[in-house]
Amino acid sequence: MPLSVQTHSALLQLDSNRDRQLSTKELQQIDSNRDGFIGWEEGEKAGLNDADRLLINPRYRGKIQDVNAIVFSRQALDALQLASPLNANFDIIDRNRDGKLAKSELASALGNPSFDSNNAAAIATAYKRYDDLVALQADRGLTRKLPQHQLLDKLPLQRYSEGGISRNDLSALLDAADSGDARVSEAMGRFSISTYGPRSATRELFPKGLESIRPDHIEQGELGDCYFLAAVASLADTPSGKRQIFNMIQPHSDGRFTVTFPGKEPVTFHGPTDSELGLYSTSGRDGLWLAVLEKAYAIQRNDNAWLIQRSNPYDKIGNGDTLSEGIRAATGKSTRNDILKATPLRTLRLNLRIALQQQRVVTAAVMNQLNPFSDNDRTANGLPRGHAYSILDYDAASDQITVRNPWGSTEVVDENGRVRDGVNDGTFKMSLEEFKQSFDLVTYEAGH
């Protein structure tokens, strides 16, 4: 049986020399009356979970002098950084007091600006790696909640538990930290990214004015909205597009923003929280504008839905959509498509040249393979399948096209698996013939 998160945290406070091991001398800090036992009051004062007191030594008798080898591995310490904030804020996040952090409760916590720093990163990680964390140990109930929905959530039936992350799951996370469990590794990787996001992002909207709006610093976050980001990056690559994005966002003195997408009603909301910045896409030091735009898009799509309206708007945009949807959202314009297997090269050349000369948004997609049993998620030249890309340029003289992956990385590679241009920044060139062989669809912003 593992020690609880609470006890792990308390014991680490005793590790005065930070060697990740508690010596007898360090443990004796708990034993105020020097009787060799951890009494109830001593354990409470030290912050120990009372159920853990008798687990402090191998004979379960509470003898401090027998315990001189409590060692905390680096993996356990890393896992504790994730588990401790969730444990500390458990009762706040657990709004229905069922002892479990449901995904809907975590989604609500994402929008709470009072959670910052590691607290925010832990909430973002728990939301994104929810399925992994609830699977770490078997305390699942049999009663399931109906699908998350803004209207269904008000029904009496919805009072049944939908399950969630329990305190036992958090303790199991620590217990599994040294086991090499891939779920723990994934969670810790996500936590690291969620911690970095808010710290790396400037809180100014456009710190460099119009020059803040540029495609090469757009990096997709944890939402599956590449179709939208590819369109935004293409729009941000032109002078008229920069101005259009700049004019979409109106900041308010109270920290709120009003965003007006072309042809849509304005949406006003509070700026992204630290937790949301751990999920949203980022433009790094180029400002908060991309995260604001992404949050506005999530809210607007959710508000415009009815039967599929979600309590959590992130679900509405984060599970993929069509290239046409992304371009319509960013520009308010209709679209047209080239299915590349049916489009001659000469037609593709003409369409690309005209669209890019007119500064229209152009995006492309590599589709997933039709074979459901195939695990080949990359093209032969290394491009992720089931993904959207921006088309930034076409040079008729060299017959080369410039493409950008909204991940800000992962591009075409050579036969040795190295990126061809030597810089893995997501922007790359390829011949139009290779492009036609690698991609499946090109979508163009139309004129109306």
Give the model's pLDDT for residue 143: 42
Residues 6+ positions from 300 with CB-CB distance below 8 Å: 259, 261, 264, 265, 267
Domain ranges of the chain: 5-71, 74-200, 209-326, 333-445
* pLDDT, tens only, 151-196: 444 444 434 445 789 988 888 887 788 777 888 888 888 888 787 7
DSSP state of 220: -
3-state helix, strand, coil in the chain (%, to 5): 45, 15, 45
Beta bridge mates, 413: 419
Among 242, 82, 101, which residue's Cα sits nearest to residue 161? 101
Q: Is 298 helix (H, G, I), strand (E, B) or coil?
A: helix
Q: Which two tokens stand for residue 193?
A: 């990214």
Residue 259 near residue 251, CB atoms below 8 Å: no
Residue 224 near residue 319, CB atoms below 8 Å: yes
Task: Provide DSSP, 252-278.
Answer: -TTSEEEE--TTS--EEEEPPPHHHHT
How far is the CA of 382 from the CAs of 341, 412, 413, 427, in angstroms?
20, 5, 6, 13
Residue 92 near residue 137, CB atoms below 8 Å: no
Class level of CATH domain 333-445: alpha beta
Residue 217 near residue 283, CB atoms below 8 Å: yes
Distance CA 13, CA 7 (A): 10
User: What are the b/e assignments for 140-161, b being 16+ CB within 10 Å?
Assistant: eeeeebeebbbeebeeeebeeb
- The mean predicted confidence, pLDDT, of the chain is 83
Q: Please measure the distance between the N-terminal and C-terminal CA atoms of the chain and give it in whole angstroms.
A: 65
* pLDDT, tens only, 309-359: 455 666 667 677 899 999 999 999 999 999 999 999 999 999 999 999 999
Give the model's pLDDT for residue 421: 94
Distance CA 360, CA 354 (A): 9
- Residue numbers of the chain with a pLDDT score lower than 70: 1-3, 20-24, 35-37, 50-73, 138-162, 197-201, 304-316, 318, 370-375, 448
Beta bridge mates, 402: 393, 429
Residue 265 identity = E
Residues 6+ positions from 344 with CB-CB distance below 8 Å: none
Distance CA 175, CA 1 (A): 8
Q: Which two tokens stand for residue 236?
A: 């941000």
With 0-12 / 13-18 / 19 or more C-beta atoms within 10 angstroms meaning exposed / middle / buried, residue 400 is middle
Residue tagged 């891939």 (tokens): 182
Residue 71 near residue 63, CB atoms below 8 Å: no
Beta strands in 191-328 (DSSP E): 249-251, 256-259, 267-270
